[in-house]
């Protein structure tokens, strides 16, 4: 094989090795399963899980850390929830239509005009009384499956609806009670962690009320209730809270000031 020696004026054959902006976009689209998705390796997920668990325990009101913990540890539980939704007519409809609970999708004025005791009226009352908004729910980033990402997003967006149905405020005691209910319902490690370690911040009186009255009720309600993700709550605003509780299987809350 003979090679021609390049002369002083000769140039190497041109090969364009530049990476264009379009290449970066195509690569991002290939790995990004949904808007905002951040692909991560198992090692990265483990590191995120450890860091977010520490921060969530240190400060339970760090909702961003609680969200990361839920996404990086909940794949098995999310698949189980997704399967329950697929095998339920109403749950399957939710998976197909992908409704979102946000201020942009809610007729807040209309809900305020509903009679007292209706689900929609009591939900808005809960938002007003606790000064919370459905728009504060973190978007999903670290779930490497588009359908499972919606499942955990739906779980987050119905969380305040669970507060309404369970009659629990957003203080530490109320959040712990809801976490016990959700832990039984969903099996998400993040919920279990919050249920087990959340009570350490309660005083002795509240801890006694929690352990003797509220946890037994929350666990029993969680076991008795149908999967709470299988209810199209957007179609239930005019239903009374009591009838919706009965339909889902949530027991009436104890007559305790939380």
Q: Which tokens sit at 98?
A: 């992908």
> In angstroms, what CA-CA distances link 244 with 80, 135, 240?
24, 24, 6
252 belongs to an annotated ligand binding site: no
Task: Classify 56 as helix, strand or coil.
Answer: helix
37 belongs to an annotated ligand binding site: no
Distance between CA atoms of residues 255 and 161, nearest Å: 20
Task: Classify 118 as helix, strand or coil.
Answer: strand
Helix H, strand E, coil C: the string for 136-188 is HCCCCCCCCCHHHHHHHHHHHHCHHHHHHHHCCCCCHHHHHHHHHHHHHHHCC
Distance between CA atoms of residues 250 and 217, nearest Å: 9
Distance between CA atoms of residues 155 and 233, nearest Å: 12
Distance between CA atoms of residues 235 and 237, nearest Å: 6
83 belongs to an annotated ligand binding site: no
64 belongs to an annotated ligand binding site: no
Q: Which residues are annotated as a binding site?
A: 159-160, 163, 175
Q: Which residues are annotated as a binding site for Zn(2+)?
A: 159-160, 163, 175
């Amino acid at each position: 094989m003979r090679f021609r020696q390049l002369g002083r004026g000769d140039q190497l054959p041109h090969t364009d090795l530049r990476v264009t902006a379009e290449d970066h976009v195509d690569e991002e689209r290939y790995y990004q399963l949904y808007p905002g998705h951040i692909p991560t390796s198992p090692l990265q997920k483990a590191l995120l899980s450890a860091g977010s668990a520490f921060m969530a325990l240190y400060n339970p009101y760090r909702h961003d850390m609680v969200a990361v913990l839920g996404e990086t540890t909940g794949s098995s539980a999310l698949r189980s929830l997704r399967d329950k939704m697929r095998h339920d007519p109403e749950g399957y409809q939710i998976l197909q239509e992908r409704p979102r609970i946000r201020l942009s999708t809610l007729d807040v004025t209309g809900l305020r005009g509903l009679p007292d005791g209706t689900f929609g009226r009591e939900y808005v009352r809960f938002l007003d009384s606790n000064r919370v908004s459905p728009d504060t729910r973190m978007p999903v980033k670290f779930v490497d499956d588009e359908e499972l990402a919606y499942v955990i997003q739906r779980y987050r967006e119905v969380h305040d609806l669970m507060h309404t149905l369970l009659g629990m405020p957003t203080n530490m005691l109320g959040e712990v009670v809801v976490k016990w209910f959700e832990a039984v319902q969903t099996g998400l490690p993040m919920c279990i962690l919050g249920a087990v370690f959340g009570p350490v911040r309660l005083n002795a009186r509240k801890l006694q009320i929690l352990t003797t009255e509220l946890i037994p009720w929350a666990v029993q309600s969680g076991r008795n209730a149908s999967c709470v993700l299988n209810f199209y709550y957007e179609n239930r605003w005019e239903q009374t809270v009591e009838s919706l509780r009965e339909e889902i299987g949530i027991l009436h809350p104890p007559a305790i000031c939380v």
